[in-house]
Structure 1
Amino acid sequence: MTEKNAYIEKTKAQLDQWNAEIEKLKAKADEAQADAKIRYQDEVAKLQERRDHAREQLAELQAAGDEAWDDVKDGFEKAWHSLSESLHKARERFK
């Protein structure tokens, strides 16, 4: 397996895990009291947007040729970091 393929597979697995966490947070938001529910739903919507952006970046990464790999990877890692940070913050707020 090439470095690119290994990276993509590892990333897909992490994205799947984060998606499951977002769904758990969404379930908590649905169970929250009215005022907290709105805040939680907004937070989940932002996480879903960042997740979708990371998925788009991952698709570009998969399609990138060897020459463009490093440039596309840099953009993907920025989206990835944003999603990771947002998910961490959401976990803390949902406790």
Structure 2
Amino acid sequence: MSKKEEYTNWMQSKLDELSAEIDKLKAKANQSEAEAQIKYLEEVEALRAKKESMQAKLKEVQTASEGAWEDLKTGLDKSWDDLKAGIQSATSRFKN
């Protein structure tokens, strides 16, 4: 298995894990009071949009040539860090 395949498989599994976390956040948001629920659901949808954007970037990496995929990987890694931080932040706020 090439480094690109290893990376894309790893990233896909991480995106699947974060997708499950987003689903948990949505369930918590749905259990919130009406005013908080709207705010939480907006945040969940923003996270979901970031995740979908990352999924598209991952497809680009998967279809990129062996020489070009590493350049795309840098942007995907940054997006990963941003999404992960957003989910961690939302999780901490939803507990309150």
- TM-score bracket, normalised by the shorter chain, equals over 0.9
The residue type paired with residue 18 of structure 2 is: W
Q: Which has the higher contact order (CA 8 A, sep 6+)?
A: 2
Name stretches of at least 5 consecutive residues in structure 1 with no aligned partner: none
Give TM-score scaled by structure 1 length.
0.95
Q: Root-mean-square deviation (CA), in Å?
A: 0.8
- Which consecutive segments of 4 or more residues in structure 1 shift more than 3 A? none
* 1:16 corresponding residue in structure 2: 16
- Write the deviation string for residues 45-88 of structure 1: whole angstroms up to 9, x where unpaired: 11001101110110001011011112111111121111111111
Q: Secondary structure at the match of 1:94?
A: helix
Q: What is the distance in 1 between the residues matched to 2:63 and 2:75?
A: 14
Give TM-score scaled by structure 2 length.
0.94
Name stretches of at least 5 consecutive residues in structure 2 with no aligned partner: none
Count of paired positions: 95
Q: What is the distance in 2 between the residues matched to 1:38 and 1:56?
A: 27
Q: Secondary structure at the match of 1:67?
A: coil
* 2:56 corresponding residue in structure 1: 56
Is residue 2:67 matched to residue 1:67? yes
